[in-house]
Structure 1
């Protein structure tokens, strides 16, 4: 029986129904049921599998397990890819803290960045370097996440449990301070004089965002970030390096092919055994990933893992782009297309369902397919705090946004953002800024777009700038889809009670 590599799995030609469905474009007439029936009907004469049936089922099982491992491990590989890319571009070590000193543009490929604040991202290895002191400058909005993208547990002060957030929303309340980050399983007594955070992974993301008042004068914000100091406990003399990451071509995206599993294997080797429970360690072992053992799949296995990764990547994006709006609480407004990638369908930072019964794997996978970093404060429901991300993948008529078309977004007067608002465009394939020839992919209140007589603002997205509207326009790339995020920093009551709503993004040609 001839064997072929199909788009979703290596199986015999009797499963060729798979190839007719995977590559089809929105064809409701073609059903994958025939493929599943073919698997279920593989020959088992006298109850035993034929050699062909056993081989096909073995390959299918490898494919299915690899697909599920990809979706489950996406949060950690998302961050591990960022770490490895940053280290290649700017150097490795706790003393390296890259800063996007001229803001972040499309040359940095990273999931849904915000070019309207100054970014700085560093990576700490507690397994290698032990407990680490992080001195936070004043006036920062920062987070400390473990590599499962969980906010690291912080101190309980006056009845408030801090987790992940540092700076304005942290226990230092924007004044700056010394934070001590302890590794998993640390048993020693923590010294006095620190805000103590306890990580559940060796790898830690330190991610600062600094605000600026004037887009033409970023130096004060950059200067504050460069007051950051990171060093091993008891060794405060370490110097810091703050390479300028702006304008550098760096690809920090997680893989959408079989190299995802190589990266996952490296992460597993860098962590304690219990970074995953025994069930998921078993799932990883089934595809060849075991802590302390080399990950060296043969060519046949590698081909199946590559197909599984490419399929799982598309599954994760479909969860976000198509399925999220169908989930309870997925839509922000009943009469608009906007969704929030990381809120409404979970109750807390552990990604449990609303009743606290189970880990909502689909919600977590969908979110980390296009974002990174988890901050409890960003999801605050208190007016004036946090920053909701109103995200649109579709225009008002329910069609996905296309770089071929021209669109208008109407923002009614008095946008409910106490600090600032902005709209950023993203490429659907990379979820990073589109390479559209413009300096930045965003436009917001600090860019002083032209307002209408009533104080409302019309923004335009498309390949062509409407005559006389160039100041309010962002260029899209023909042949590429895009999506948009409206960020409201410091949302006011009108956002929460929905007395203010943005218009849908509407096609104008």
Structure 2
């Protein structure tokens, strides 16, 4: 009996091979095929889980990178960062504008509520922006279209699940479902004259603030103009390292548990340390390349077109964005794909879309071809753009959804007094090399693909009722 107990599977297999002789080759091949099939199934499962986990986690990683990128630029929590001049290409975040000044805020309410002081609007300066959690869910709008209705005030940020916290009287409540978050506030200027910019900087530094509640420390404001201030990240295996980090820091909610099950099958657990093998890193690099292509495809093909077949200009949002007030959650489901696309493309969506601003997106020329950074184009903006404040058009790199790197001009706004035609139209040129002697010209740096956003600040009736329409962009051949 002891002899039998010590007979191993390998011994039995060897005996069988001797007995069956000629059939040993077939048996060996069958065993090899089964092992190969098992390995292939495991690999495919790993790939599936990684792809869907990346789509689910894109808004979370991108939101946390808004904070991490700011910290890498040496901004501290509760330190107000601002632009003393309109941003240049070094502001590498999803589709910002370059015709307003930004306040960039980062916060963490794990240890204490945070207070953000928003300045009151003046005749000269208007305020527009939102405060978001790390999932990039907008929690409250501020400024003229926000809760303070342009009067300014103190916003009280706190962890929504902490029942011990009472919002002080006179503060606007901002309950966060996560610990970390960020805010993006635009200071809208009447023009970009040097004296206006100087006044705006003084307005920002004296009227805005951020600090822990019941804490006397006030960090100095930080000017980030002409600094590399970025939240973009590579679409490779390091995405999952970033996802592990934020999963460890934040609380897991009921709606996250299914996704956490998928993450556990690729090696990410709450409180864990993601350590893929070299082979797995290669697989994840390929997966993230596919994810990146899918997100870009959403930008290129997301309906609906604003004016149907009459123009290629499109609404740059999914219908679910508006229906759920940017949360992408309703009583039945979470809109996973729409959510991932939005937070690949946008820096800071508001709770209420279209009240203070409206956007249109263009990805194709008049002939239906994707905009190519190596080609030349002309866009003719019709007269009487329906805005109470100003309009602007900016070019973005499809591969980053941010400014085209190293471009010395990233957009054009009506506040810059562009050259106008006698009939009130405005011709704007795009291409890798200078066009129109540099007048109304936006360089595309010969990148593979780009897209445009046309912004309406203070959209008026003719925009809302479609009685005014943008022209298609035309390739200059």
Post-superposition CA distance 1:450-496 (Å, at most 9, x none)? 2122212121111344445x322112222432111110011111111
Match 2:368 to one of 376, 398, 412: 398
Give the match for residue 223 of structure 2: 244
Aligned with 1:104 (options 56, 62, 87) = 87
Counterpart mapping for 1:198-237 below 5 A: 198-216=175-193, 217-226=196-205, 227-235=207-215, 237=216
Q: Is the 8 A contact 2:64 2:181 kept in 1?
A: no
Q: Secondary structure at the match of 1:143?
A: strand
Compared with structure 1, are the counterparts of its residues 303 and 466 closer, same or farther at alpha carbon in structure 2 (3 Å cutoff)? closer
CA distance in 2, matches of 1:350, 1:210: 22
Q: In the aligned structure 1, how far is the partner of 2:426 from the partner of 2:317?
A: 27
Query: Which ranges of structure 2 fall in alignment gaps of 5 or more residues?
Result: 1-28, 122-126
Per the TM alignment, residue 357 of structure 1 is displaced from its structure 2 partner at its CA by 4.4
Partner of 2:302: 324
Aligned partner of residue 388 in structure 1, secondary structure: strand
1:282 alignment partner in structure 2:
261
Structure 1 equivalent of residue 271 of structure 2: 292
Distance change (3 Å), C-alpha of 1:444 and 1:501: same
| Larger Rg, first or second structure (1 or 2) | 2
Are positions 1:133 and 2:103 aligned together?
A: no
Q: What is the CA RMSD across the aligned residues, in angstroms?
A: 2.2
Aligned equivalent of 2:430: 461
1:273 counterpart SS class: coil
> Structure 1 residues 465, 275: closer, same or farther in 2, change over 3 A?
farther
Structure 1 CA distance for aligned equivalents of residues 375 and 252 of structure 2: 50
**1:146 partnered with 2:146:** no
Q: In structure 2, what is the equivalent of residue 480 of structure 1?
A: 448
When residues 506 and 145 of structure 1 are mapped into structure 2, their CA distance, relative to the original with a 3 A threshold, is same
When the two structures are superposed, what TM-score results if normalisation uses the length of structure 1? 0.82
Partner deviation per Cα, 1:406-463 (whole Å, 9 max, x = no partner): 111111110011110000011121222113542x301011111121222121211113
For the pair 1:57 / 2:41, whether they are aligned, the reply is yes
Q: Which residue of 1 aligns with 2:393?
A: 423
Q: TM-score of the superposition, structure 2-length normalised?
A: 0.87
Structure 1 unpaired stretches of 5+: 1-43, 153-163
**Alignment correspondent of 1:14:** none
State whether structure 2 residue 354 is matched by structure 1 residue 370. no
Query: Residues of 2 paired with 1:456 and 1:372: CA distance?
Result: 30
- What is aligned with 1:497? 465
Deviations 1:127-168 (A, max 9, x none): 1x321111111222121111111122xxxxxxxxxxx10121
Structure 1 residue 172 and structure 2 residue 144: aligned?
no
Q: 1:50 offset after TM fit, Å?
A: 0.8
Alignment check: 8 A CA contact 1:99 1:118 kept: yes
User: 1:104 offset after TM fit, Å?
Assistant: 1.1
